[in-house]
Amino acid sequence: MRVLSGIQPTGRFHWGNYFGAIKQYIELQYENDGFYFIADLHALTTVREPTVLRANVRDAALDLLALGLDPTRATLFVQSHVPEVSELYWILMTGAPLGLLERCVAFKDKEARGIKADAGLFTYPVLMAADILAYDSQCVPVGEDQNQHIEVCRDLARSFNAHYGETFVMPSARILKETAKVPGTDGQKMSKSYGNVLALFEDAKELRKKIMRISTDSRPMEEAKDPETDHLYQLYSLFATDEQRLEVRDMYLRGGFGYGEIKKRLADVADNFLEPLRKKRQELASNPETVDRALASGARRARTVASDVLARVQKACGIKP
């Protein structure tokens, strides 16, 4: 099955990115034909400094490879390295109903939060549709908040197929597991826009300091606590073994402990998990040609597939005979 997903290089990846999405991408690469791209074209709606964007793309590639994305199993590439997608985007735009885009929740949400609304942000779902359709994608792993964009993609593909004949493969969404709702340092969903993130490749000492500053409630030590509603326990559960998780769960149900003890345990299990990944990333960073080869190889394969799809679309709608 052809699986496709992209991730924006708008900053360093955090725990929510990994446990909410990247971990599941990596698991899917073993039994599927995975296409994973760094969405630098999408990032242009928010990142306007070229040096920052280039650095973010590089960091994203290093992070993904260090986290276990295997370029011999999956196709890893940079979105803008496949220009066929931009041409397909325009073709889809010519048949995209204005009302369909106006109903997209993500755009309205960003507009409500005071983010400057431009045409790129408004037509984001059409570019996302081009990303998906360009590779004959069958499965698109997304969070609940992105499911509407998959429906937009399906609507555009269905409309094109009805007008010009069967051209596009119809993709389906795969809603990512509940781990997508990884809590941040304030208990809300971890997000760069909320400023509550714990970065994956942050310096170990700095990360421990941030963990020790995580906000908690003021319940007394002796009081029993519900682990399922506590964000410290939820974060601890991401890294802990089943045995460790059960031990801490029993502590919550008994009471008689301070949150500082849980924070120390969280810092320890997180460091044990992340330290080998930090070392792998350092090795990759010291061998930049390895990353270059992986991205170049991925772009070649992605362009081969996208060129075939675009030729099929052009023939169907009457351009480039």
Question: pLDDT tens across 248-257, in order?
Answer: 999 999 998 8
User: Is residue 111 located within the same domain as residue 174?
Assistant: yes
pLDDT tens figures, 7-63: 999 999 999 999 989 999 899 999 999 999 999 999 998 899 999 999 999 999 999
* 167 CA to centre of own chain: 28
The answer to whether residue 196 sits within a structural domain is: no
236 pLDDT more than 90 = yes
The answer to whether residue 186 sits within a structural domain is: no
Q: Is 242 exposed, middle or buried (0-12, 13-18, 19+ CB in 10 A)?
A: exposed
User: Is residue 216 located within the same domain as residue 107?
Assistant: no
Question: Looking at the whole model, is its pTM more than 0.75?
Answer: yes
User: Is residue 166 located within the same domain as residue 227?
Assistant: no
DSSP classification of residue 30: T
Number of domains in the chain: 2
The answer to whether residue 210 sits within a structural domain is: yes
Mean pLDDT of the chain: 93
Domain boundaries, position 93:
2-181+288-317
User: Is residue 274 located within the same domain as residue 313?
Assistant: no
User: Is residue 238 located within the same domain as residue 260?
Assistant: yes
User: Is residue 226 located within the same domain as residue 128?
Assistant: no
- pLDDT tier for residue 178 given thresholds of 50, 70 and 90: low
State the pLDDT at residue 180: 52
Please name which of 308, 311, 302 lies closest in space to residue 35, comparing C-alpha atoms.
302
Contacts of residue 298, defined as CB under 8 A and 6 or more positions apart, other chains included, come to 71, 75, 76, 77
Q: Which amino acid, 140? A: V
User: Is residue 273 located within the same domain as residue 300?
Assistant: no
The answer to whether residue 60 sits within a structural domain is: yes
Helix ranges, 68-122 (H): 84-93, 98-102, 105-112, 119-122
State the pLDDT at residue 244: 96
Percent of the chain with pLDDT over 70: 98
- Residues with catalytic roles: 110, 189, 192
Average pLDDT over residues 301-316: 98
